[in-house]
Amino acid sequence: MHEEARKIIHMFFGVGIAALANLLPKDMMIALLGASIFIGFILAEGVRRGFHIPLITLLITNLEREGEYPGKGAFFFTASALFCVIFFPTAVAVPSILTIAVLDGVATLAGIHFGKHRITNGKSFEGTVAGILVNTAALLILISPLQAFAASLVAGIVELVSPVDDNLTIPVCICILLTLMGV
């Protein structure tokens, strides 16, 4: 497994999902995310059962964490994006989806290269701070500086302490926070 490549792909697809959520009508985005989950399960189950599916097998073989269900991270990301799109307005869902893409990816990449002070679960202070700063900058195209920083700080904390996969928890927490902040 190559964590750097995994996080780069995570960021690329995550930013793409956030962009689509910003551009497409809500009902179309719901259909797209729902179909992605359904098709993803079919493809992952095929790979799990030993079928060779071009590109999908290559991605899962090279990027999936050892012992994980094939595509687990992608399923969790897509499911949380779907939840946010269904239950929150676009102005709240998009920054939340962008946050899981940017903060999670940057924190891991910065932690791999610059992390010296481990906080919890192998995550570093340096990675967390880098994720918060870069994510704040990314969110400024969508929300106010205070909202961007608050969302980034909360996401950084949730990433550190979440008892379950942060692909599930970060977007929902940020949707709730931004709703409370009046976005």
One digit per residue, pLDDT tens: the chain, 183 residues? 488 888 999 899 999 999 999 999 999 999 999 999 999 999 988 988 988 888 888 777 777 777 777 778 889 999 999 999 999 999 999 999 999 999 999 999 999 899 788 888 888 899 999 999 999 999 999 999 999 999 999 999 999 999 999 999 999 999 999 999 999
pLDDT given for residue 11 in this prediction: 95
pLDDT given for residue 68 in this prediction: 76
Phi/psi at 17 (nearest 5 deg)? -65, -45
Smallest Cα–Cα separation from 178: which of 141, 142, 151? 151
pLDDT given for residue 57 in this prediction: 80
pLDDT given for residue 20 in this prediction: 98
pTM for the whole structure: 0.91
Please identify which residue in the block is written with the tokens 């030993």.
Answer: 50
Smallest Cα–Cα separation from 110: which of 138, 130, 90? 130
Sequence length of the chain is 183
